[in-house]
A and B are shown apart, each in its own frame.
Chain A
């Protein structure tokens, strides 16, 4: 089963900490908003995406699979 990144956009406040933990998967765009670059990242990125979920101040990121 592949990984899936799920963001609760009601919670996300664009803190951007995820983009430091997993820059391959998350970025803060020129508009100041957070964007998911890869919704179904490779297994090799699991640890980084878990780290990104951990450091999200509002705990808006969930990893499925």
Chain B
């Protein structure tokens, strides 16, 4: 009898999972459902070049491998609940879909500011940037002279701040942290990047929170916890993310932060790993023995592809029954990687800089005030590198990050 794989989540991880299933010989039905109206597209440009250039879906859409051309896509539909024992998922249109294997790839949503205020909509002048629709709404508001307040000074907030300056906006960036991007990058590099943003005209308000958003129908002012009042035309809430894992509740999974899995991406339960289900993309909290055994979620751009391929391999073997134990036991230690463009600065990261000891961060090459490679150490071990420019040099550190298990 023909089998069915249901992929919940039609982003990059859902696509790569479908392609991975095909690459590993699974030939029966694959149904992918996702809440956005768009076919899977590349998100990083939404806060970078696409935001001041071409924001068309055609430009951002992922090409689908030929082997996955027969996958069925249902856009605009989300999962509302799942019964993993009965192998069914109920969708927002009321239909209940049964499956032989399931990929959970529902990703994350933008976290909103927990302060009362005008509606959390573009009309309320309160934006987030996670989806193409979000970016289209934000782009329309970033007109020359617009007063933009970016809440949050992580990578996304800093990228949008830089882009908004290029578009002629007046940009202020507010964060509770002492420096922008300090949590992954450490204070020295973060302070240097702050200086470069300030040179370009970004004004930072750091070490403060938001006390109040003023306005009835739309935000007119942002009041900070130190009393500062910022007049504004556009607020961007770039405050991180929360996991879209609510639809999996009630199945005895560990959903404390995403979905906890093993290295085969099978959901962890008290009673043992759950076969026939794989978790991919931003919501997967998996151990990576390149670093240690602690399960971690990694919202780096490379991870949807790595986890999607792994999910495809594991589930294809599960469904065929051939070599499943070997596939599950195979070593899988992806090297996390992401990049960020801010003004003329290109940051390229490999590994997990956030795992470094506070005193384990040092410049390995170049000059912090120009181009450089910064190394992030935990004890003696290099757990991450970040290049500021120097792409060729930072790329030579790829193989030196973590302690990958030797392959025989």
Contact of A28 among B23, B302, B395 (CB under 8 A): B395
Kindly provide the distance from the CB of A51 to the nearest chain B CB, expressed in whole angstroms: 9
Known contacts being A20-B398, A57-B44, is A15 close to B301, with CB within 8 Å? no
Q: A3 to chain B: closest CB distance in Å?
A: 12
| B404, chain A: closest CB distance, angstroms | 14
* Chain B residue nearest in CB terms to A20: B398
Within 8 A of B (CB), among A10-48: 13-17, 20, 28, 32, 47
Let me know if B302 and A59 touch, CB within 8 A.
no
> A13 vs B44: C-alpha distance in the bound complex, in angstroms?
14
Interface size class of A (residues with CB under 8 A): 10 to 19
Q: Which chain A residues border B346 with CB–CB below 8 Å? A: 13
Residues of B with C-beta under 8 A to A50? 65
- Which B residues are CB-close (under 8 A) to A47? 23
**Given the complex of chains A and B, what is the CA–CA distance between A58 and B45 in angstroms?**
8
Complex contacts, B218 vs chain A, CB 8 Å = none
Cβ-defined contact, A55 with B302, below 8 A: yes
* Complex CA distance for A60 and B339, rounded to whole angstroms: 16
Structural contact, B301 and A16, CB atoms closer than 8 A: no
Residues of A within 8 Å of B305, CB to CB, are 54-55
Task: Using known A-B contacts A15-B391, A32-B392, A59-B62, determine if residue A54 contacts B398 with beta carbons closer than 8 Å.
Answer: no
Q: Which A residues are closer than 8 A to B by beta carbons?
A: 13-17, 20, 28, 32, 47, 50, 53-55, 57-59, 62
A28-B395, A57-B44, A59-B63 given; 14 more Cβ-contact pairs under 8 Å: A13-B346, A15-B348, A16-B392, A17-B337, A28-B391, A50-B65, A53-B63, A54-B16, A55-B302, A55-B305, A57-B339, A58-B42, A59-B42, A59-B62
